[in-house]
Amino acid sequence: MTGTVTLQAKNKNRSIVQTESTTESPLVRWLLIGTALVFLLLFLILPLLIVFREAFSGGINLFFQALTDPDALAAIRLTLFTAAIVVPVNLVFGVCAAWAISKFKFKGKSLLITLIDLPFAVSPVIAGLIFILIFGSRGWLGPWFLSHGIQIIFATPGIVIATLFVTFPFVARELIPLMQAQGTEEEQAARVLGASGWQTFSRVTLPNIKWGLIYGLILCNARAMGEFGAVSVVSGHIRGYTNTMPLHVEILYNEYNFTAAFAIASLLAVLALVTLVIKSVAEVKITGDQIQTKL
């Protein structure tokens, strides 16, 4: 269910003028701010800080030793490889779905939008279970693939398929409301002036949706690299072969190799922070684009 809060709603920042009668006494105000900050400190900031403190608790050498361990490098490679396939494929899907939904009228549109969100409602573990039922050695298609020498479950293809499933809605759900709000007038004008379909998309639509696209991409990438439940079910946990970074964190942690576990985890935490920064920039840019469109 990650990211189910749409971007559109968040960007309606309206400044509210405070007057004496419509705000709280300073005591109540600071009590509320204090409560909020303590809550966020305990649940967000402390976990983040702990990851870095533990990662460097054995010194910088141990940190780099953990990252350059062959199994760790294999996990990093597999995670990058998976994201390199998953993100572009779901990007193409997201753009296609958003184009069809926002630029045309057809029956069953809201049903289609609901169906696109479906993977968010499915527990990651259940997503993994589904693909085991299909491609597992005792599944429906698994034996056929195995007899042709293709292993899907407990191998890289299974990890890629499970990750495709859990990150399926990300790009589409950011682009659909954005492109619906932008309408079709600019594209129609381009067509009337003689632009081809591809030219219309690449020169008119793409610049308009650029930041929405980046927003969807970065969230899709974060989830693709960080997915645990679905990948854990289909991976088989073979060190150096089918371990992604999050799975390697789990293995190291269960072996009481805490420093190494947190070293890998700190890389993922940096990824999360970079994701948040790019996301914030994209939000500002999208709001700017929307104001410009309105003018």
Partner 1 sequence: MNSLLTVGKNILPAKRSSVIPGFGLTMGFTLFYMSMLVLIPLGGLVLFTTSMGWEAFWQSITDPRVLSSLRLSFGASFIAAILNAFFGLIVAWVLVRYTFPFKKVIDALVDLPFALPTAVSGIALVTIYSQNGIVGRYVELLGFQIAFTWIGIVIALTLIGLPFVVRTVQPALEDLEKELEEVAASLGATRWQTFKRVIFPAIQPSLLTGFAMALARAIGEYGSVIFIAGNMPYKTEIAPLLIVIKLEQFDYTGATAIAVVMLIAAFLILLFINLIQWWNRRYSDEN
Instruction: Restricting to residues 122-181, name those near partner 1 by CB under 8 A.
Output: 122-126, 128-134, 136, 138, 140, 161, 164-165, 168
Residues touching partner 1, count (CB under 8 A): 113
Asked if 78 and 159 touch (Cβ cutoff 8 Å), the reply is: yes
Residues 6+ apart with CB under 8 A from 136: 142, 153
Interface stretch with partner 1, choices 60-68, 173-181, 248-256, 286-294 (CB under 8 A): 248-256
Nearer to partner 1, 2 or 208 (CB): 2
Single residue of 81, 145, 241, 253 touching partner 1 by CB under 8 A: 253
Residues 6+ apart with CB under 8 A from 263: 55, 62, 63, 66, 67, 72
Using rule CB under 8 A, residue 111 touches partner 1: no
User: In the window 254-283, what residues touch partner 1 (CB under 8 A)?
Assistant: 258, 261-262, 265, 268-269, 271-273, 275-277, 279-280
Shortest spacing between CB 33 and partner 1, in angstroms: 5
What is the residue whose two structure tokens read 């305990």?
Answer: 42
Single residue of 35, 68, 202, 293 touching partner 1 by CB under 8 A: 35
Using rule CB under 8 A, residue 4 touches partner 1: yes
Asked if 241 and 74 touch (Cβ cutoff 8 Å), the reply is: yes
Using rule CB under 8 A, residue 107 touches partner 1: no
Using rule CB under 8 A, residue 290 touches partner 1: no
Single residue of 80, 115, 150, 206 touching partner 1 by CB under 8 A: 115
| Lookup: tokens for 202 | 């690449």
Cα(224)–Cα(272) distance, integer angstroms: 12
What is the residue whose two structure tokens read 């509320």?
Answer: 32
Cα(39)–Cα(18) distance, integer angstroms: 25
Single residue of 56, 93, 145, 241 touching partner 1 by CB under 8 A: 93
**CA proximity to 87, closest of 240, 226, 197:** 226
46-55 and 258-294 are packed helices; what angle lies between their axes, rounded to 10 degrees? 130
15 in helix, strand or coil? coil
Residues 6+ apart with CB under 8 A from 164: 86, 89, 90
| Cα atoms in the 13 Å half-sphere on the side-chain side of 92 | 5
User: In the window 193-232, what residues touch partner 1 (CB under 8 A)?
Assistant: 197, 200-201, 219, 222, 225-229, 232
Interface stretch with partner 1, choices 48-56, 59-67, 144-152, 174-182 (CB under 8 A): 48-56
Shortest spacing between CB 245 and partner 1, in angstroms: 8
Using rule CB under 8 A, residue 238 touches partner 1: no
Single residue of 58, 81, 85, 103 touching partner 1 by CB under 8 A: 103
Using rule CB under 8 A, residue 23 touches partner 1: yes
Radius of gyration of the chain (CA): 23
Using rule CB under 8 A, residue 33 touches partner 1: yes
Shortest spacing between CB 249 and partner 1, in angstroms: 5
Burial of 113 from C-beta contacts in 10 A (0-12 / 13-18 / 19+): middle
